[in-house]
Each structure stands twice: as C-alpha cells, then as structure tokens.
Amino acid sequence: MLYIRLSIALAAISMPLYRSASEKGIEKHTISSLTSPRELSTSLSAANEKNVEYSIKATMGTPSQEFTLLIDTWTKWTWIDSKNCNSCHASNRFNSKASPTYKNTTQLKSFYTNYG
C-alpha cells in the first residue's frame, strides 16, 4: 500500500462527498467553504456515529489516476492501494510505472500507527 498524509491548505475548498449507509446506494453531498482540516474532521466524525462511510473521488500521478478514497476521521493517514500490493483487492490501484512523477522512497523501512 502507498500512504499519503493529507494536507489541506487554510483556504476554502469544495469537493463532492459521497455517503454510503449500505450497499443499496450512495448519496452525494458537497463539502464547501471549510476553513481548516479540523473542521472537516469534526463534521464527519459527528455524522459517522451512524456507521456510514464517506468517500471522495481523487486523482494522483501524471497522467492522473482516479481513486475512491474513504475519509477516515480517526487518523491523519489516507491509504491508496498499489498495483504492487498482492493482498490489495481494490479495482482501481495506483500503478507507479504509469506515472513518471512517482518517486520511490526507500527511507521508510517500517511503519506503525495506532488506530483508536
């Protein structure tokens, strides 16, 4: 898996937000005019108490590769499945070989995070 630490500038943002309470369907919502990452996290945490998932459509790489990212309100990390991951089952996995702007960093030998 690849990991990305999301950094949101302190400027207003607008992005489509998808809410899925069950497999029956996805409701589209819009987050707009947020002023800080904390505001985003706080508003989603309150809604997540009903056991729903929130996701956004995002792109990464050059040329752009599209992903559906789950918004995790408990951590600062966002995970994107990689084509190099044999145990990842997502259909849209990041292909580093298709992105000339991708840089392999070997500095990260191991990774640990604690999920509440």
Task: Note down pLDDT in tens along the chain; length 116 residues.
Answer: 444 444 444 445 566 777 775 444 444 444 444 444 444 444 444 444 455 677 788 888 888 888 777 777 677 777 777 888 887 776 778 888 898 888 777 666 676 667 65
Instruction: Give how many domains the chain has, as a whole number.
Output: 1
Name every residue whose Cβ is closer than 8 Å to that of residue 89 and which is 6 or more positions away in sequence: 81
State the pLDDT at residue 107: 61
Residue 92 lies in a domain: yes
Residue 110 lies in a domain: no
Q: What is the pLDDT of residue 55?
A: 78
H or E stretch including 109?
A: none
Indicate whether 79 belongs to any domain: yes
- Coil, strand or helix at 79: strand
Q: Label residues 21-60 b or e (16+ Cβ within 10 Å = b).
A: eeeeeeeeeebeebeeeeebbeebeeebeeeeebbeebeb
What's the domain range around 70?
A: 2-98
Residue 112 domain-assigned (yes or no):
no
Query: What was the pLDDT predicted at 52?
Result: 66
